Amino acid sequence: MQIAGIDNYLLVPASAVLVVAIAILLIRKTGKMRKRPSSKDEFEGGERYIDDSDEPKIVETDEVQKFKAKVDQLSTALNLEREKVKAKEEQLKEHEKSYENELLKVNALKDEVPFLRKNIGELQEASGKSKEKFEEELKKVKANSESTLAEQKTRYEEEIQKLREKVEETITTSAANAEKLKEEARLRLEDTINRHKGELVAKDTEIMDLAASGKNEREKLKNELLAERQELIKSYEDKILEIKEKTKETIQRLVDEKDGLVDRLKEDNEKLEEEVDRLKERIRLLEVDRL
């Protein structure tokens, strides 16, 4: 597999090789080389050239030595660059292997995509069925709640109607009882007054009879009878007052019972309203959960 960018790492070594080649050409061009003289040349100048080697020698000038040093330096740099390039190549090979491994993983994941899509489709289908089942259950619960609410509402309305009828009956009975008690008290009072009137008439007759027997005795009896009469009158007045008080207490008790029934009716009505609100809240929560 070709790795993009590897040519960039080879540019530096190629440049170094080019520099070395140019340096070698300059050395060859500027070097002063002497050929081995012929036998004629050896004696013409009065000098004899002695050379242990058959190869021509290069006379190294300062410039040549500088170039040689530069060439050595460039060779060393070239070797270093080659080592770096090798290290980069190894690193790139490792990256290539990692890339191939990741590519294998990606291909494996691509192979799993159809299976995952199939699972997602199955899950979506199951989710749709669950949603339909939930909606059916919600409808059942809502229908049951509405039915229960209607039944409870009907039952509470019947109980309220019964309580109202009972209250009206109690009020009517209480009013009738109050009228009856008033009538009984009036009759008792009239009977007592009539009876005491008869007693008073009898006492008056007795007093008149005693008056005939003597003035002193008459006065004495008159005073006694008057005192007794006053005592009887007071006693009857107390009894009449007692009857009136009992009548008032009975009427007040009946009124209190009426108020108690009204309060109970109000409490039952409040309980019914609380129950209705609770059922409505339950239905609202079920609808929120469904959404």
pTM for the full predicted model: 0.25
Amino acid at 190: E
Check residue 32 and give its pLDDT: 42
What DSSP designation does 111 have? H
For residue 15, being part of any structural domain is answered with no
At 244 the pLDDT is: 77
Answer whether residue 184 is part of any domain. Answer: yes
Confirm whether 210 is domain-assigned: yes
Q: Which residue has the higher pLDDT, 133 or 249?
A: 249
Domain that holds residue 179: 152-290
Mean of the pLDDT values across residues 17-22? 64
Specify if 81 maps to a domain. Answer: no
**Residue 133 lies inside a defined structural domain of this protein:** no
Task: Examine the pLDDT at 46 and tell me if it is beyond 50.
Answer: no
Q: How far is CA 63 from the centre of its chain?
A: 89
Is 11 part of a structural domain of the chain?
Answer: no
Residue 92 lies in a domain: no
At 130, the pLDDT band (50, 70, 90 cuts) reads: low
In a domain, 16, yes or no: no
Taking phi over 0 as left and psi of -120 to 50 as alpha, with beta for the rest, 61 belongs to beta
d(CA 167, CA 87): 107
Q: In the chain, how many domains are there?
A: 1
Q: Which two tokens stand for residue 151?
A: 């039944």
